[in-house]
Amino acid sequence: MSRRKKLDTRDARHDAAFRRAREGGFAARAVFKLEELDKRFRLLQPGRKVLDLGCWPGSWMQYTAERVGPAGLVVGIDLRAVELALPTWVHPRVGDAEGLDAAALRDEFGPFDTVLSDMAPHTTGDRNSDQYRSEELCARALTIAQVVLRPGGHFAAKVFQGGGFAALLVRMRAQFAEVKAVHTEATRAGSREQYLLGRGHKPGRSDPS
């Protein structure tokens, strides 16, 4: 596959996965996490509409754009602008997911088939604080998904597991028919990073939070 994109060179962690991502034309090594989740749980298909929260530097949008193709749509939201050449069916936007008007987004694009979130907090070095903030971001992604997902739609979000993890699972089970917590092979050893997967969105269910 030929890609003419500006790669992110600010990632100083030049491990094998980073080099492999660069060789493939992807902006970051995180693409392999999404690829694994997609292959295992069939999150993406040609023609689907996908919302990508925390989309910078853009590797998830690159992968998703190829999977949904020109009949699909990808909308990305991040505080930072994505500096990549992307296909016409990909729409990166600068914005704050915490203040995002999810209803307005659904009105503009219609219901989405999949919501992805790779949002992460600016880490402070205090593990409890960072985990708490990560769980808040995951909870916000769930709230957005509840509004914009079609019935039967899918969800995948990164979270650093902490004290609020069990409550997130309760919320997930209220919103989706199938829920899994996944530690991807591309995640570094020892990391508390997980991905919460939800398949089969159940609109209109009460949110226990």
Report the catalytic residues. 158
Local structure of residue 101 (DSSP, 8 states) = -
Angle at 21 between CA 33 and CA 91, to 5 degrees: 75
Please report where in the chains the tokens 């209109």 appear, as a residue.
204
Amino acid code (one letter) for 44: L
Which two tokens mark 191? Answer: 């990391």
Q: Return left, alpha or beta for 50; rule: phi > 0 is left, psi -120 to 50 is alpha, else beta.
A: beta
3-state SS of 1-16?
CCCCCCCCCCCCCCCH
